[in-house]
Amino acid sequence: MIAGLVLAGGRGTRMGGIDKPLLTLADRSLIEIIIERLSPQVGALAISANGDPARYAAFGLPVLADDLIGRGPLGGILRGLAWAGAEGADSLLSIPGDTPFIPADLVQRLSPVPSWAENSAALHPLVALWPVGCAAALKAWLAAQPSGPVRAFGATIGMRSVWFDDTPDPFHNINTHADLDQARTRV
């Protein structure tokens, strides 16, 4: 089984410190759109977010806080891998909570693990399919350094890039108000 994890723990500093997954497109939150797109592709789904989990309670999914605080998105992925393993999954799909246009066949295209998405815009190391079995390696890697780029850890487990030539960019993420305005023109 493949589990899914929406990474909703970012600080949103370029948007004034808001929870970007709760921003709206066409009267729906980004996280609601992402959950709708992910649910048919995975056997279980959770949200990675530190702080008050009540802000995501309306979505009816487990809200996972990082076990290792201050490790960035890899801290969320580590917690997600532990949760996915407990759910009986053998892999975990991670998606940033500000990426509402993910393809409906993302899991199929990223399989087999380990892999992450790439397109002409960039490498997207958080749009990734992780083997649950890499949790111990990730925990050791995070223990050896306070933080590090997702790409650096991914290289240690042999992540491969899967090319997406979809247009418009299915991995357009919303980091600024201009990004949000551009996304609103797509819906």
Helix axes 73-86, 135-144, angle to 10 degrees: 150
Distance in angstroms (rounded) separating the CA atoms of residues 122 and 171: 9
- Model confidence pLDDT, tens digit, residues 50-76: 888 999 999 999 999 988 777 889 999
- Domain covering 2-184 in this structure, CATH number: 3.90.550.10
Nearest of 79, 6, 82 to residue 41 by alpha carbon: 6
Q: Which residue has the tokens 């797509």?
A: 186
99 and 153 in contact (C-beta within 8 Å)? no
Name the residue ranges covered by the structural domains of the chain.
Answer: 2-184
Of 110-114, 154-158, 169-173, least confident by mean pLDDT is 169-173
Distance in angstroms (rounded) separating the CA atoms of residues 171 and 80: 21
Residue type present at position 82? A
21 and 98 in contact (C-beta within 8 Å)? yes
- Give the count of beta carbons closer than 10 Å to the beta carbon of residue 118: 17
Q: What are phi and psi of 154, to 5 degrees?
A: -55, -40
Mean pLDDT, the chain, rounded, equals 92
Of 3-7, 23-27, 114-118, least confident by mean pLDDT is 23-27
Question: Which structure tokens are listed for 141?
Answer: 């890697």
